[in-house]
């Protein structure tokens, strides 16, 4: 392995900043599933959450620290404000990780000091120094961030960073919190830090940035050229507002253009050594998993992982690619884990062959998960002539990454046509084990199904998004349905895959309703309802 200063460290914040994206709330099991995949992807650090934010965040970080934070696994990090309680809670959450990090922050821009913190610069200097030292008393790995660094007074920024490093920060992160800077400006900020912070050689410079102007990835690449060695990013670029710098775009830019970036890391121009530790073949699978579990769909023209990223419609482009891929493709789709392989498994295939193929695809399932996935595979194999690896991934992800199993779809039956009123009958098994059936008329078959389900579940909600995607081509393709619904100010997502798109629609809706129902039944919510009544 190369020295850290000679490569780029990938800090993934999908489970912290990424989850702050409206509607992207994940339960503990879903966070753990993503964390396991991030470890397979090869990220160096997983920011697993904000421990002080809620008991759920604390539990998720603790579980990830214990299960994913192994000796040979990634560093597990918790965010903490520059406060004693935050830092103490973060330390408790990461204590079971073989390698744990506390990431503490305080704002440094004039606008934040005046309106948010209501503190002077000298007060912030003292707090930063004290809180970094306090975090250092729990772990040797401490990261400090001056929030809104992109709009901070440079001279004050240098002072804060110098004090934080002196107090024990081993990483200093420079956030463009509001996505305001341009690449040349951001690069200049990093260069200024390198030139004006006397003890900067004792810490790794990290960057964090939002994509409000669509410049986050470009800013980060310019930061690398000026000395940044850690990039804080998310899968598919999800996150607050317009999102974060996208991990897959950064990693592949550094991979495809490594000859350009090599000299900035002190390497020979022609060095073929990877600039990151990421296993690029895991990128597409990780993207799909995060998209499915968060309900945040990837736009077709999204760089690297979008459905059209390797598609060619122009006749000139098609002709060129057929003659030589390099004419119009700068990277091979297989580099990110995309293949067109058709598996030879069918309805007569055994469990061992099924397990072997899943392992080849990177799935490490428990016996219970394997059994559930195998039953679904057999059901699909009875309906489809050929099953692709993409179908397999959809089957497995749909079966093992479910919402809380409260209400369950037992029957969906619809009647519709050009001269008929769409009518649906549904039967749901309730959390108490009772089977309830109801029917409804809608503007279409899916609308009728959802109205019937609402009559059974009886939880007020507003459907705000309904999306259908085909996993593969063909009339017998598996259809994936993603829906998002709102209850009061919160958004809940649901996802399901099935060869019958009506059934998938029903299951996705019930998945979202189960998340909503579980939230309403949570102790935290029940306490709030009790307080409101009092």
User: Residues comprising the binding site?
Assistant: 17, 208, 210, 244
Helices (H), 361-500: 367-383, 389-400, 445-457
Sheet containing strand 408-417, edge to edge, reads 408-417, 420-429, 435-441
DSSP collapsed to 3 states, 119-182: CCHHHHHHHHHHHHHHHHCCCCCEEEEEECHHHCCHHHHHHHHHHHHHHCCCEEEEEECCCCCC
> How many angstroms separate the CA atoms of 345 and 418, rounded?
39
For residue 275, which phi and psi values (nearest 5 degrees)? -85, -15
- The residue length of the chain stands at 534
Burial class for 207, CB neighbours closer than 10 Å (0-12, 13-18, 19+)? buried
Cβ-contact 501, 481 below 8 angstroms: yes
> How many angstroms separate the CA atoms of 426 and 456, rounded?
9
Binding-site residues for Mn(2+), please? 17, 208, 210, 244
Question: Could you tell me whether strands 462-470 and 479-487 are parallel, antiparallel, or unpaired per DSSP bridges?
Answer: antiparallel
| C-alpha dihedral sign at 399, 402, 404, 409 | negative
Please work out, in degrees rounded to the nearest 5, the angle formed at the alpha carbon of residue 108 by the alpha carbons of 106 and 113: 95
**Residue 114: DSSP 8-state:** I
Burial class for 349, CB neighbours closer than 10 Å (0-12, 13-18, 19+)? middle
For residue 304, which phi and psi values (nearest 5 degrees)? 75, -55
> How many angstroms separate the CA atoms of 387 and 464, rounded?
32
């Amino acid at each position: 392995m190369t020295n850290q200063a000679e490569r780029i460290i990938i800090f993934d914040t999908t489970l912290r900043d990424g989850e702050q994206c409206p509607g992207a709330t994940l339960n503990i099991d879903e966070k753990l599933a993503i964390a396991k995949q991030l470890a397979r992807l090869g990220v160096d650090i997983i920011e697993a959450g904000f421990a002080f934010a809620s008991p759920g965040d604390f539990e998720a970080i603790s579980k990830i620290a214990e299960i994913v934070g192994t000796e040979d696994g990634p560093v597990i990090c918790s965010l903490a404000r520059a406060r004693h309680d935050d830092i103490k809670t973060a330390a408790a959450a990461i204590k079971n990780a073989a390698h744990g990090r506390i990431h503490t922050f305080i704002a440094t821009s004039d606008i934040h000091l005046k309106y948010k913190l209501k503190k002077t610069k000298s007060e912030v200097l003292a707090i930063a120094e004290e809180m970094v030292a306090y975090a250092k008393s729990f772990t040797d790995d401490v990261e400090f961030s001056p929030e809104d660094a992109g709009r901070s007074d440079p001279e004050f920024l240098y002072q804060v960073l110098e004090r934080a490093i002196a107090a024990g920060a081993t990483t200093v992160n420079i956030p463009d919190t509001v996505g305001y800077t341009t690449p040349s400006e951001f690069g200049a900020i990093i260069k200024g830090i390198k030139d004006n912070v006397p003890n900067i050689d004792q810490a790794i410079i990290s960057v964090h940035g939002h994509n409000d102007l669509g410049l986050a990835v470009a800013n980060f690449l310019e930061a690398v050229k000026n000395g940044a060695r850690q990039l804080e990013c998310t899968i598919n670029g999800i996150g607050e507002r317009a999102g974060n710098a996208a991990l897959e775009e950064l990693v592949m830019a550094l991979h495809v253009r490594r000859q350009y970036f090599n000299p900035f890391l002190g390497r020979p121009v022609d060095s073929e050594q990877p600039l990151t530790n990421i296993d690029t073949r895991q990128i597409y699978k990780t993207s799909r998993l995060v998209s499915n579990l968060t309900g945040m769909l990837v736009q077709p023209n999204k760089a690297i992982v979008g459905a059209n990223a390797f598609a060619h419609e122009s006749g000139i482009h098609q002709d060129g690619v057929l003659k030589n891929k390099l004419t119009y493709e700068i990277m091979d789709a297989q580099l990110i884990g995309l293949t067109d392989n058709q598996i030879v498994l069918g309805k007569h295939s055994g469990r061992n062959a099924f397990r072997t193929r899943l392992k080849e695809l990177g799935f490490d399932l428990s016996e219970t998960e394997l059994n559930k996935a195998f039953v679904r595979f057999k059901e699909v194999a009875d309906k489809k002539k050929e099953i692709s690896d993409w179908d397999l991934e959809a089957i497995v992800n749909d079966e093992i990454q479910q919402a809380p199993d409260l209400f369950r779809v037992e029957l969906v039956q619809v009647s519709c046509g050009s001269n008929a009123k769409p009518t649906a009958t549904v039967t749901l098994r309730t959390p108490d084990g009772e089977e309830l059936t109801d029917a409804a008329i809608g503007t279409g078959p899916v609308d009728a199904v959802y109205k019937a389900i609402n009559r059974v579940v009886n939880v007020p909600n507003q459907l705000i998004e309904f999306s259908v995607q085909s996993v593969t081509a063909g009339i017998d393709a598996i259809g994936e349905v993603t829906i998002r619904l709102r209850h009061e100010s919160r958004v809940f997502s649901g996802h399901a895959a099935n060869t019958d798109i009506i059934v998938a629609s029903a299951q996705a809706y019930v998945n979202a309703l189960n998340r909503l129902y579980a939230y309403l039944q949570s102790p935290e919510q029940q306490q709030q309802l009790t307080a409101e009544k009092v």
